[in-house]
């Protein structure tokens, strides 16, 4: 299952992401937050947690400047 996290604050980091980490076959493909730095921080933390080599981070193009692609 591919999921994107919308809202990268306390609930996402303390509840949703730890729960998703326990589920098999979950791929987190993006993070979105009104604060781009918070989205980038969440994405980098998840890449560190799962140790996904070859993954990359990048801001989306266009008008959705607050979306961070994790893969």
pLDDT at 71 over 80: no
Q: Give this prediction's pTM.
A: 0.66
User: What is the per-residue pLDDT across 49-61, written as a single tens digit (0 to 9) for each?
Assistant: 655 543 455 555 4
Flag the least confident range among 10-14, 40-44, 50-54. Answer: 50-54
Output 52 or 6, whichever has higher pLDDT: 6
Percent of the chain with pLDDT over 70: 66
Task: For residue 68, give the nearest of 43, 50, 46 by alpha carbon.
Answer: 43
Structural domains in the chain (count): 1
Beta strands in the chain (DSSP E): 2-6, 27-32, 58-59, 67-69
Q: For residue 39, what are the domain limits?
A: 2-69
Task: For residue 56, give the nearest of 20, 22, 29 by alpha carbon.
Answer: 29
């Amino acid at each position: 299952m591919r999921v994107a996290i919308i809202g990268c604050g306390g609930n996402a980091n303390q509840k949703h992401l730890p729960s998703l980490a326990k589920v098999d076959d979950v791929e987190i493909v993006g993070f979105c937050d009104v604060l781009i730095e918070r989205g980038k921080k969440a994405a980098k933390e998840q890449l560190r947690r799962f140790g996904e080599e070859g993954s990359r981070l990048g801001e989306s193009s266009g008008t959705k400047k607050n979306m961070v692609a994790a893969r």
